[in-house]
Structure 1
């Protein structure tokens, strides 16, 4: 029966031209895409938030990340005291401040 089946001989497969270079460019492109889409915008937002937190001062009107509007009455190294209503003050971490509002925003609401 062996005479009906011909023997298969393995041939050396030629590597596609530029295969290794394509793989390196593909991986490099993925890193570039990751940098442009994810890392760079996140770093920019973090820098803007650090600048916002660093510039907080007494009398600023702020919006917390929880949605509370208030006026800063006291600032320390890591915490701020925010007056949310007349006579009602809340102590918050500086990182909980989401945005600084223009003066007069609270009165207009």
Structure 2
């Protein structure tokens, strides 16, 4: 016999003596999940929502960066595609969903304003 009856009875008595042990054992896991949500998941969702809004509002003249790293100026906007001018007389069409950054025409506000 691998487990003596006395040892088995002692383990059962210890579990009955502390019935809240299971609930208190889950508390650190819940706290870790809450911390991950507020430190990692929520900011990422906000960033993705902001990018989606910027991509949907892209217009002619905006500077964009594609997922492949191409940087150019938007010359034409369709429902699902944009035409990007990479250099003079060099234009490519890209799917809107592949845009990773949108900078409005005229650049950003000056830092001192």
TM-score category, normalised to shorter length: 0.7 to 0.9
In the TM superposition, what is the alpha-carbon distance from 1:100 to its structure 2 partner? 2.3
Cα separation, 1, equivalents of 2:22 and 2:45: 33
In the TM superposition, what is the alpha-carbon distance from 1:38 to its structure 2 partner? 2.8
Match of 1:56 in 2: 58
- The structure that is helix-richer by fraction is 2
CA-based RMSD: 2.3
Are 1:39 and 2:41 an aligned pair?
Answer: yes
* Matching residue within 29, 40, 43 for 1:27: 29
Cα separation, 2, equivalents of 1:41 and 1:8: 54
The structure that has the greater radius of gyration is 1
Are 1:99 and 2:101 an aligned pair?
Answer: yes
Q: 1:81 to 1:8 in 2, by over 3 A?
A: closer
The TM-score with structure 2 as length reference comes to 0.71
Count matched residues.
Answer: 99
Mark the runs of 5 or more structure 2 residues left unpaired by the alignment: 108-113
